[in-house]
Structure 1
Amino acid sequence: MSSRALRKAQREREEQEQLQKLQQEAEDLEQEEADEEDVPVVSAKASAFAMLEADEDEAEENDGDAQSENNDTEAHTSPVASASTKPAAKKKKKKKAKAKAEPPPDDLDEIDKALKELSTTSTSSQVPGTTVAGVNETVNETNRLLAIDTTHLHAQNEMRRLFGRAALEQQNDDDDGPPAANQAAGGNRRQQRRGQQGGGLAQALRGQGGAGGRSAGLAAMALRRNIFIQGKEEWPVATGGGLGMEIEEKRSDGTVLYKFVHNKMYQDVQGQFEMCVESMDPQRLVMLLQHNPYHISTLLQVSEIAKQERDFTVSGDLLERALFSFGRAVHSTFSKNLAAGTARLDFRRPENREFWLASWRYMLNLSMRGTWRTVYEWAKLLLSLSPEEDPYALWLVLDQYALRSRQDLDFLNLSRNPAMRAIHGDSPNVQLSQGLAEFKAGNKGKGRQALFTAVGRFPWVVARLMHELGVDAPPGVWGKEARSEREKLYSELYATRAKDVWNTPENTALLVEIAAAVPADVEGAEIDDGQISDAEARHVLLSETPALIALLPRKFTARVGSASDPLAPEDSMSSYATMRERYNDGAGPRQPNGLGDAAESLRELQGLHGWFTNLFPWFRPTDGGGAEGEGARPSEEEIEARIREAGVDEHTIVERTQRMMILQQRLMGGGGGEELDLAAFGPGLAQRGVEGEAPDGEVEQGRRARVEDAEHEEG
């Protein structure tokens, strides 16, 4: 037992003895002086109890050691002295105690009212939507909806659910098997041809087994858990090369801003990469990647080279390697905050933009496999990293990924969140997909009503969609066309990509039924004549669809940079000076026309090369028109058919052909680049390209001479 408890027990015993003594003295006094003094017995007893209760109150209020000693001293004091010296004080304390114990009903009501008013005032003074601690509930709800389940970021998990573990293992065995086994099993002919030609990119980029005494690629590294991509044993053994992640800011709303960083060694490799890009020699990029197998920019660039060669397996593998490198570099708290929806990245930083680009291209690669659940989670991840800016305009396609992956309810909750609605606004695709999602979720009445409203507001989008589906449009939407460039872009984006979502008997019948109920004189929403934003232009450029890219204004296509950083924002924040910036700032020798000007021309020319490659699969700007030689050049009929299939205006093709020739001539005048063979487009297209007027007469003459030479060779 503690000393305090002992003192308390002793004090209570002494007080009890004092009480008995006082009672005895009061009784004696009553008997002896009953005739002389009128002292009621009750008064003596009350006084004694008052003194006792007062002592108890003092003991409870002052439970310290010093006060305990004072109480003990007072307990030993003569009761007569105590009663004579502090009678008034004891009575006042007694009255206060009784007042606290039994307050009048009116006073109690007033106190309650005052407390209630104080509580109401305090609550009303808070910001709406916040708790007492100052946490915004709207922000919390938005973050909760943006939370990422990292298990859905791995395509293997979805493929295992779709096809089973055995089928997935069999597929891996087939992919890793030797070319001879693939040939016996009817493997693709392109892989066989690569094996005959020396292995191609796949062989050049394969991990060097046995290097440094190691014989099995990543091995133990592949067994580690990676937030984005699980490593493969055949990948080269190497570190991230100096790629890391740091916390840039912890914000008051609970979000955490991160940034990817490059150390000095990584910056040196980045400079080598820039020189390889300036040379426009793919072989130099491949060699650089062999020495730096996890350098992000090189992985993205070589991945594009593999895709242009229609080697989608190698292209996807390089993208996975890039994301694997990002996963190894993330901060220790990034995974937790990503799962909570509070992780953020600044798109203005080039190091961060590479993650956006790698993720986007990986999503396109996953779309070819049909793993839509994984694609939706990756799209949601990119949206969560910068939901306010949405630099890739993911709202233009997130709804379709959600419907394909059967995440209808998740999309409805996310799209109807107030913060998210302020971002995507009244996008036609979101409105139409919300109605379809409601219908598929079982709310058929609500879904029909939402679709009726959307069709009435955007009849031109539905008319274009029905044309894509091959369905006759009812009077309410028949003949409706977009009224501005922005509306046309939205219509083409949704109709060409969402047609597979609607192309089922049930969904098509629902669309026709709702469209037939719309009045014929419907006017639709107010005209959307706003400017196409950078995010929307970036979204279209990265879709790699020539017909859609042709709808963009020239100001965007002229800004297209390298394949590793397309359409960089104008307020880009460089963490360190690139090689081109160092040259232009006087840190190194200048080229005759300025290395910066030449680099811009090279990047624009490279963007045009990529556009024509997507439009014409046979297009090769420097090898005579095709990978297979002269015999691979297309005929006039093939060119016309391809143009009709792509839906690109011939005027756009001619204009961009002229622009490409001007850039080529400019670079040749500056001592860079190779002669462009117009026959790469095909003879007929080359002829149409010279019929227009060029702004430069000398360029026009040179172009005509090259066309005549090409036709002479064909003759």
Structure 2
Amino acid sequence: MSSRALRKAQREREELAQLEKQNHESTAEEDADDDEAVDSTALPPPKPSAFALLGDEDEGDDDEDQSADVGGVAVSAQRESPVPTSSTSKPKKKKKKKGGKSASHEGGTVKANGVDEIDEALKQLSTSGNGTGETTAGVDASANEACRLLAIDTSHLHAQNEMRRLFGRAALEQQDDDDPAAPNTGGNRRQQRRGQQMGLAQALRGQRAQGGRAGGLSAIGLRRNIFIQGKEEWPVSTSGGLGMEVVEKRKDGTVEYRFVHNGAYQDVQSQFESCVASMDPNRLVVLLQHNPYHISTLLQVSEIAKQERDHTTSGDLLERALFSFGRAVHSTFSKNLAEGKARLDFRRPENREFWLASWRYMQNLSMRATWRTVYEWAKLLLSLSPDHDPYAMWLVLDQYAIRSQQSLDYLNISRNKALQHAHDDMPNVALSQGLAQYRGGDKSKGKQVLFTAIGRFPWVVARLMQELNLQPPPGIWGKEPRTDREKLYTDLYATRAKDLWNTPEFSALLTEIASALPPDVPSADPDTTDIALNEARHVLLSDQPALIALIPRAYTSQLTSSSDPMPPPDSIASYQTSAVIPSRQPQPDFTSATSNLRELQGLYTFFADLFPWFNPSGTDGAAPQPSEEEIERRIQASGVSEDVIVERTQRMMELQRQLIGDVHEDGDDGFPGGLVGDVEAANQIRLRQAMVEDDDSD
């Protein structure tokens, strides 16, 4: 409520009180005077000035559109109707008496008897609106601040906006020139690959309407999407039955949503699962041609294009999936997302597809170095479930923030009390806070934070300096991670953040602070916490084979589909599909077989780092077998327990047997040509079976 409306209501309330008082104290002579004044009030009122009318109009707008924030509670008041009064001169007498009062008007505030009347009115409205007179100010202030910090600016979700700011419109024209359907005059191999990419891209554009701009999606539908700006060449079709509904409006102000599938969409989902079980990628392409905005099919075909190194088509399919999500959102979702109050439950498979599409889209954007857009998408995934963080965004949010020049925003988010519990023991957060503080201008404070972080996690800085080809000082020399979780954090940060430190200024800063660390500082107790499921999911989706080997066997054994990697154990299934399984023995998802191959490569890297003589191919020129003493010495120097080595050896042999078992006798390797390769790739797997024969006999 505006101050004008409050003053008006207060004046009317005072007039009523004075009228009642005068009715009791008036005499017969005053009543007679009142009768004489009736004729004077019957005269037509003077014509108001244009400025007065303008003021009344503004006052009416304020009454209708504005609200007063009373003690943290938004209080809205309707316009009160004028109080009917009799045609007497009592209001006139009231005005005369009021003129004699000592009233001060200062800054639009009316004061009488030393009491601020506006504050009094606000207090009364607050009490009447809340019942008990209490407000919500100060209640869950940290949680409310977290919502404000996690608010999403949807304009930063569009990569075209960032590229336009960085490079101008010429960058967007260059993107069109890089279209896979464009002619290429390169070498034969490049022409062959470009032809394959053009074939897949052309197949997916088969539904494009003729007639140019008028035949495509509407211009309004292309632009008005909170996630992705659509493209004219995309097929003209509906979302196929994808929608969103409100699940719960919580007491803290957040709103939980869920994506829903209608009956037609569920039928297409059953067809999708049948295509996956058939191990025929061509059936998926055909299904996508008839259902161009089916999310699961878009994600699966996008992964196929990615394995064929057709990143343009892969990214285009991911954009189409997010565009379909944007068309299906609830009418209130955009507003709550912009306020950091929108939530999605990761336990629902329909919601998990949005997480997966967003993550893969972020990886695609990273290749274009549009870091501001990537950071906004990462913050979006964190805001949808900040308490659980199913994709472990805290492991990478800091690097995206620094690369996108959002250091201050990251400092505010990471230091919020309601969010600190999710990253207390993460070394990347502590180191990035110091780096962000230093880059933000407060260099002395930044050095102090970095000194504390290096003292807590010296093995991370030792590994980072190894990546930067720097000589570790005595304070951190020889420091190694002691558990798998510490090694995972160390390798993730050292391999990802090395570019942030790989400048003369920051390399010198790292060396200076690390050299100031005393060599006899006792190390903190080892982190005995196991790798969490969300961290394992993060590593698996990061597509780094060397790190996949660190994931516990209990998690990797659950990997059955790349379209829903590592679902939570308490997953909530909204419906059951009726997929038609082929008569032959069902085969695993071909993309999961690719993940098994990557996990096997990660295990090879692990053993190659542990034992220099390790030779999985069994080819000539291998190093001689070492003695048992040498093996024991290497194991003790690495700090890896023997149980872990035995477990990973068994897992490596199991993966070899699984991958070799997928090779059929007729020479078909069971994988599409672009995923793993031809029969030669399967023969390479056969050669690796000869490794660790001694362990097999044990």
Question: Which amino acid in 2 is paired with 1:171?
Answer: Q
- The question of whether the paired residues in 2 share the 8 Å contact of 1:217 and 1:236 is answered with yes
Secondary structure of 1:314's partner? Answer: helix
Question: Which amino acid in 2 is paired with 1:456?
Answer: G
Query: Structure 2: how far apart are the matches of 1:198 and 1:13?
Result: 96
Quick one: structure 1 residues 534 and 398, their matched pair in 2 at CA, closer, same or farther if it must change by over 3 Å?
Answer: same
- The question of whether the paired residues in 1 share the 8 Å contact of 2:597 and 2:659 is answered with no
- The question of whether the paired residues in 2 share the 8 Å contact of 1:635 and 1:682 is answered with no
Question: Which amino acid in 2 is paired with 1:304?
Answer: E
Determine if the alignment matches structure 1 residue 662 to structure 2 residue 654: no
Where is the helix percentage greater, Structure 1 or Structure 2? 1
Quick one: structure 1 residues 660 and 354, their matched pair in 2 at CA, closer, same or farther if it must change by over 3 Å?
Answer: farther
Which structure 2 residues correspond to residues 310-709 of structure 1 after superposition, within 5 A? 310-579=309-578, 598=586, 605-609=593-597, 611=599, 655-656=651-652, 658-662=654-658, 665=661, 674=670, 680-681=680-681, 686-692=686-692
Quick one: structure 1 residues 527 and 142, their matched pair in 2 at CA, closer, same or farther if it must change by over 3 Å?
Answer: same
Quick one: structure 1 residues 436 and 148, their matched pair in 2 at CA, closer, same or farther if it must change by over 3 Å?
Answer: same
Query: Structure 2: how far apart are the matches of 1:176 and 1:148?
Result: 31
Query: Structure 2: how far apart are the matches of 1:477 and 1:348?
Result: 42
Question: Which amino acid in 2 is paired with 1:437?
Answer: A
Counterpart residue number, 1:38: none
Deviations 1:311-363 (A, max 9, x none): 11111111000000000000000000000000000000000000000000000
Question: Which amino acid in 1 is paired with 2:593?
Answer: L
- The question of whether the paired residues in 1 share the 8 Å contact of 2:395 and 2:428 is answered with yes
Deviations 1:417-470 (A, max 9, x none): 001111111310000000011111111111000000000010000000100111
Query: Structure 2: how far apart are the matches of 1:190 and 1:639?
Result: 33
**Pairwise CA RMSD:** 4.2
Query: Alignment partner for residue 14 of structure 1, among 17, 27, 30?
Result: 27
Query: Alignment partner for residue 168 of structure 1, among 167, 171, 180?
Result: 171
Quick one: structure 1 residues 677 and 290, their matched pair in 2 at CA, closer, same or farther if it must change by over 3 Å?
Answer: closer
Determine if the alignment matches structure 1 residue 151 to structure 2 residue 117: no
Question: Which amino acid in 2 is paired with 1:423?
Answer: A
Query: Structure 2: how far apart are the matches of 1:163 and 1:639?
Result: 51
Shift of 1:529: 1.2
Counterpart residue number, 1:711: none
Question: Which amino acid in 1 is paired with 2:511?
Answer: V
Query: Structure 1: how far apart are the matches of 2:201 and 2:574?
Result: 33
- The question of whether the paired residues in 2 share the 8 Å contact of 1:678 and 1:686 is answered with no
Secondary structure of 1:577's partner? Answer: coil
Quick one: structure 1 residues 11 and 558, their matched pair in 2 at CA, closer, same or farther if it must change by over 3 Å?
Answer: closer
* Percentage of matched positions with identical amino acids: 60
Question: Which amino acid in 2 is paired with 1:168?
Answer: A
Counterpart residue number, 2:208: 209
Question: Which amino acid in 2 is paired with 1:608?
Answer: N
Shift of 1:208: 2.6
Shift of 1:555: 1.5
Counterpart residue number, 1:31: none
Give TM-score scaled by structure 2 length: 0.71
Shift of 1:170: 2.4
Counterpart residue number, 1:24: none
- The question of whether the paired residues in 2 share the 8 Å contact of 1:229 and 1:324 is answered with yes
Quick one: structure 1 residues 639 and 535, their matched pair in 2 at CA, closer, same or farther if it must change by over 3 Å?
Answer: farther
Shift of 1:551: 1.3
- The question of whether the paired residues in 2 share the 8 Å contact of 1:210 and 1:216 is answered with yes
Question: Which amino acid in 2 is paired with 1:204?
Answer: A
The count of residues paired between Structure 1 and Structure 2 equals 553
Query: Structure 2: how far apart are the matches of 1:429 and 1:219?
Result: 45
Shift of 1:607: 3.0
Which consecutive residues of structure 2, in runs of 5 or more, have no partner in the other structure? 1-14, 33-82, 89-122, 605-616, 624-644
Query: Structure 1: how far apart are the matches of 2:323 and 2:648?
Result: 39
Question: Which amino acid in 2 is paired with 1:14?
Answer: T
Secondary structure of 1:419's partner? Answer: coil
Deviations 1:176-219 (A, max 9, x none): 59633x53xx6x97773256459321111114334799974325
- The question of whether the paired residues in 2 share the 8 Å contact of 1:348 and 1:571 is answered with yes
Larger RCO, structure (CA 8 Å, separation 6 or more): 2
Shift of 1:402: 0.5
Counterpart residue number, 1:138: 142
Question: Which amino acid in 2 is paired with 1:322?
Answer: A
Larger radius of gyration: 1
Quick one: structure 1 residues 559 and 329, their matched pair in 2 at CA, closer, same or farther if it must change by over 3 Å?
Answer: same
Question: Which amino acid in 1 is paired with 2:689?
Answer: G
Shift of 1:561: 2.6
- The question of whether the paired residues in 2 share the 8 Å contact of 1:271 and 1:579 is answered with yes
Secondary structure of 1:260's partner? Answer: strand
Query: Structure 2: how far apart are the matches of 1:18 and 1:315?
Result: 89
Quick one: structure 1 residues 600 and 284, their matched pair in 2 at CA, closer, same or farther if it must change by over 3 Å?
Answer: closer
- The question of whether the paired residues in 2 share the 8 Å contact of 1:308 and 1:613 is answered with no
Shift of 1:651: 10
Shift of 1:687: 2.2
Quick one: structure 1 residues 361 and 666, their matched pair in 2 at CA, closer, same or farther if it must change by over 3 Å?
Answer: closer
Secondary structure of 2:27's partner? Answer: helix
Question: Which amino acid in 1 is paired with 2:658?
Answer: I
- The question of whether the paired residues in 1 share the 8 Å contact of 2:660 and 2:685 is answered with no
